[in-house]
Amino acid sequence: MRSSPHIVFINGHLFVCCAGFFVQYSKTTKTPSLSRRVTVTVKQPAKGLNIRVFQQHTGQSNFSLDLDLQLPNTGVTALFGPSGSGKTTLLRCIAGLEKSVKGSTNHISLNGELWQSHDFWLASHKRPVGYVFQDANLFPHLTAQDNLRFSIQRADKTQPAIHYDDVVELLNIASILTQYPGQLSGGERQRVAMARALLIQPKILLMDEPLAALDDALKQDILPYLERLCHRAKIPILYVSHSLDEVIRLADYMVVLEKGRVLEEGNTQRLISTLGTSFARYQDASMVVSGTVVEQNTEWGLSWLGFENQTIAFKQGKEAIGDSVRLRIQSRDISVSLSKHEDSSILNRLTVVIDDMEKDNKDPSMVMVRLLAGNTPLLAKITALSAHSLKLEKGQTLVAQIKSVAVLS
């Protein structure tokens, strides 16, 4: 993980300090001077974010980013992939923080608005981009409120679509506005950083692992705010994360990067449930089941989610009957049997049909089975020996036994 850029304005000039470089942007500075070669191209200016990126890093890393993407105009698109796959570099290209080679024919556009082409470069500080980094990067000598004012001064005031009071309410920061960043918890600082990014009136929000620096408890605190922000924002959000849980919870669309190339892209639910994608091979491959709470038993501390005429028991939390809930079920927590065994400790037994099966290339002792509970897909990771002994085949009806589930929302 590289350090996040620090952005400072001095005498009307924008300075970005990143990875040891201190780069000045001003009206007369067309591109930042970085020691790397970057070119960016768009296919057709159209709705959504259109980018074609070809970039080579000089020096030891020998990395090149080569992408051709048309990303949705709304909702959250997750950028997922191993460390060094180019996620941050892609965000930096979009933000105009990577230098484009002179004379290059490459482009970037958002909803038909050109930011970059062979003869045009919109300076970084003129791109309507809200950027949230792993570290909040608030100005330490300013209160939370003054940090927000700083963004408001920078904002495009012609068509303010995002209002201060709404942002303060959305991120629940009214009570901490008079505090200095040093007096805030990591989660509170990140909420202020998100508010600051929204108040510059961006047309796109770039979020680079905004939860990565927080411990698990703080992550759980801030996730609901992030989720509200993602659902309510009327602008597209590009969200970088290493956490499959976060991606499943927040992203409608996802792009998987590997070594600077697009490995897979598409609807999140479809991608993670399709055998053959990198997700189905993940150690923690999992699926999400959505439904409503149909029953609760406080004595046993359980709630039941109803979906597709079946129910799943889960540990009771703050949900009430009638609430919409999503459960995450990991493939390793599902076993299958040919009939219902009432004499086991497992509470959840769903009637399912085998939709697909795939051998694990890396581990020949295991098989991934794609199951359908009605129209809801589930993944079960079982031994190849069990699959053979039970004579499993596509179309067969089985009972899926679910050991444990995690509540997402």
Ligand X SMILES: Nc1ncnc2c1ncn2[C@@H]1O[C@H](COP(=O)(O)OP(=O)(O)OP(=O)(O)O)[C@@H](O)[C@H]1O
Interacting residues with ligand X (CB under 6 A): 1-2, 19, 36, 57, 59, 61, 63, 81, 83-89
The per-residue DSSP string of 274-287 comes to STTSTTTTSTT-EE
Q: Indicate the burial class of 37 (C-beta count within 10 angstroms; 0-12, 13-18, 19 or more).
A: middle
Measured CA angle at 262 (ends 259, 265), to 5 deg: 145
Q: Which residue has the tokens 């920061």?
A: 173
Residue (98 or 333) nearer to ligand X, CB? 98
CB of 52 to ligand X, least distance (A): 17
Hey, what long-range contacts does 163-172 have (CB within 8 A, 24 or more apart)? 164/199, 167/195, 167/198, 167/199, 168/195, 170/195, 170/225, 170/228, 170/229, 170/232, 171/195, 171/225, 171/229, 172/225
CB of 333 to ligand X, least distance (A): 27
CB of 60 to ligand X, least distance (A): 8
CB of 230 to ligand X, least distance (A): 20
Q: Please provide the distance, in angstroms rounded to a whole number, between the alpha carbons at the two ends of the chain.
A: 29
Residue (29 or 243) nearer to ligand X, CB? 243
Residue (59 or 140) nearer to ligand X, CB? 59
Tokens at 16, concatenated:
């970005």
Cα separation, 392 vs 20, whole angstroms: 57
CB of 179 to ligand X, least distance (A): 30
Written as one letter, the residue type at 402 is I
CB of 242 to ligand X, least distance (A): 6
Cα separation, 242 vs 226, whole angstroms: 16
Residue (63 or 139) nearer to ligand X, CB? 63
Written as one letter, the residue type at 159 is Q
261: left (phi over 0), alpha (psi -120 to 50) or beta: beta
Residue (53 or 392) nearer to ligand X, CB? 53
Say which residues have a Cβ less than 8 Å from residue 257's Cβ, sequence separation at least 6: 67, 79, 80, 81, 85, 86, 87, 90, 263
Written as one letter, the residue type at 329 is I
CB of 282 to ligand X, least distance (A): 16
Residue (55 or 348) nearer to ligand X, CB? 55
CB of 121 to ligand X, least distance (A): 19
CB of 57 to ligand X, least distance (A): 4
The Cα-based distances of 346 to 124, 305, 351 in angstroms read 56, 16, 14
Q: Which residue has the tokens 């922000």?
A: 229
Cα separation, 282 vs 85, whole angstroms: 17
Tokens at 129, concatenated:
């981009």
Residue of 259, 289, 295 whose CA lies nearest to 272: 289
CB of 53 to ligand X, least distance (A): 11
CB of 394 to ligand X, least distance (A): 37
